[in-house]
Amino acid sequence: MRKKLIGTMIIVIVGILIYAWSTTRNVQILQEMKASDFEKIEIWNHGESVVFTDQEDIQRFVDILQSTRIHKRKSPDRAGGWIIVDLYYKNGEQDDMGIAVDQINMGAGEYKTEKNIYDDINELYEELK
């Protein structure tokens, strides 16, 4: 009986550790992005958009994304704005992402950011429109 209890406790502890690791580990998606992979990027803010194709502007956008680290963990829901970004790859694929003050949603993933990149993306948007 005692061996079963100890075995069960070990399984539960290992399960908790695996769950905690998988939900809080650092994700490298942004650091793996290359500006040269994109044909164009469209940023939507307050119902208006700006499209940029210049490689320098695309690099600035990628640099902003790469200035933070993200973790696979959803931030608490809150009121506030979202910037929507449509990513157009040179291989014909398209992706989108939503950026809030401390969260990025990409595909099915929700990621918490370590720093606020919303303001930097908004500043880039305002400069390019």
pLDDT category at 55 given cuts 50, 70, 90 is very high
Q: What would the DSSP string read from start to end of 67-84?
A: TS-EES-PPPP-S---EE
- For residue 7, what are its two tokens? 């075995």
How far apart (Å, rounded) are the C-alpha atoms in residues 92 and 108?
A: 20
Its CATH architecture, for the domain 27-128, is Sandwich (2.60)
- Predicted pLDDT at 96: 93
pLDDT category at 12 given cuts 50, 70, 90 is confident
- Over range 63-73, report the average pLDDT: 87
- Predicted pLDDT at 79: 54
- Predicted pLDDT at 129: 84
pLDDT for residue 127 is more than 70: yes
pTM above 0.85, yes or no: no
Q: What would the DSSP string read from start to end of 7-62?
A: HHHHHHHHHHHHHHHHHHSEE-TTTT--GGGEEEEEEEETTEEEEE--HHHHHHHH
Q: Which range, 2-6, 24-28, 81-85, has the best average confidence (pLDDT)? A: 81-85
